[in-house]
Each structure stands twice: as C-alpha cells, then as structure tokens.
Amino acid sequence: MPTNGHPAPDEIYQLQTSCYLVLPGFLAADHVALLMDRLERVMERRREMAATSTESRAKTDVEGANTRIFHILQDDPALLDRMDYEPFMAYARTFL
C-alpha cells in the first residue's frame, strides 16, 4: 500500500485489467489471524445450522468440506470492523 493511503497507478491497472487486487500487508498480521479465527467459527456454526436445518436469515451452501457463506457480516462484529477502515475507504472511493 502506498504511504499516502491511495491506490498506486499499478494497483489501479491491476484491478481494472484483472478485476481483483491483492494488497500484501494491508492489514496487520494479528488482525488477519483474528479474522481467520472468526471466519472458522462462523463456518462451523453455519455448517451446524445447515446440518440441523435450523432456520436462518442468512444463506449457507454446504457441499462436503466446502462452505459458501452469504451475508457473513452479521455473524460476527470483527468481520464488520474493517468496513470503515480508512485505508480501505481510500481505495473504495478511488475505485467507485
């Protein structure tokens, strides 16, 4: 991530040509570990709900070891935490 907090020209080009952008180091390693832990918890809870046909407002598709989770931000506050992270918002404003 550039020090000014805005996408560099090569990042803009990458997103425009590939429709994705990888930003190594964008989040601190400890925060990534927290998010991965929370994601695992959510997937486990969602798999249990799907297995017992527990009703939920959120959609979950389980196919063997694969789990597709929709509307995940409502499952854990930590997953919503980075949505207004200012470095992310700088990128969002540029790309939108």
How many structural domains does the chain have?
A: 1
Residue 16 lies in a domain: no
Residue 3 placed within a domain: no
pLDDT of residue 59: 86
Does a structural domain hold residue 66?
Answer: yes
Instruction: Let me know if residue 22 belongs to a domain.
Output: no
The domain containing residue 86 runs over which residues? 27-95
Given a cut of 50, the residues of the chain with pLDDT beneath it are 1-3
pLDDT at 60: 87
In a domain? residue 69: yes
Long-range pairs for 40-46: beta carbons < 8 A, 24 or more residues apart: 41/76, 42/69, 42/72, 42/75, 42/76, 42/79, 43/67, 43/69, 45/75, 46/75
Question: Can you give the pLDDT at residue 2?
Answer: 46
d(CA 60, CA 46): 7
**Per-residue pLDDT reduced to its tens digit, 37-51:** 999 999 899 998 888
pLDDT at position 61: 87
91: exposed, middle or buried (Cβ count in 10 Å: 0-12, 13-18, 19+): buried
